Amino acid sequence: DTEVTQTPKHLVMGMTNKKSLKCEQHMGHRAMYWYKQKAKKPPELMFVYSYEKLSINESVPSRFSPECPNSSLLNLHLHALQPEDSALYLCASSQKPQFGGTGELFFGEGSRLTVL
């Protein structure tokens, strides 16, 4: 199983709603990531979890709250979002948090979020 599964594939929410995006992998990977991608732009790193602990937060607004309950699961909790937060949210995982130049990232297909 070399898949990263993201749910839901599409989400529409109002600015006062609270919702969550979910990401799951069963490859035994110990690093997981959230990226945000606007239309026709490259993915932008948001968060990195290493061994279930938050290791990188790229100054993301607090209305995005990540959570890693176990080594297979990564959530992104959304609250009081703005219309400009509408984007494709990509989850990825890699085998090892520590670097060596290897550590291929496996990406999911993304959750497309629309904030009204």
Nearer to other proteins, 11 or 94 (CB): 94
DSSP codes joined into one string, 26-68 = -S---EEEEEEE-TTS--EEEEEEETTEEEEE-S--TTEEEEE
Interface ranges with other proteins (CB under 8 A): 4, 31, 33, 42-45, 48, 50, 55-56, 90, 92, 94, 97-110
Count CA atoms within 13 Å of residue 31 on its CB side: 16
Nearer to other proteins, 14 or 103 (CB): 103
Q: Least Å distance between CB 21 and other proteins?
A: 13
Q: Least Å distance between CB 70 and other proteins?
A: 19
Helix residue ranges per DSSP H, the chain: none
Q: Least Å distance between CB 16 and other proteins?
A: 29
Nearer to other proteins, 82 or 114 (CB): 114
- Contact between residue 29 and residue 97 where contact means Cβ atoms under 8 Å apart: no
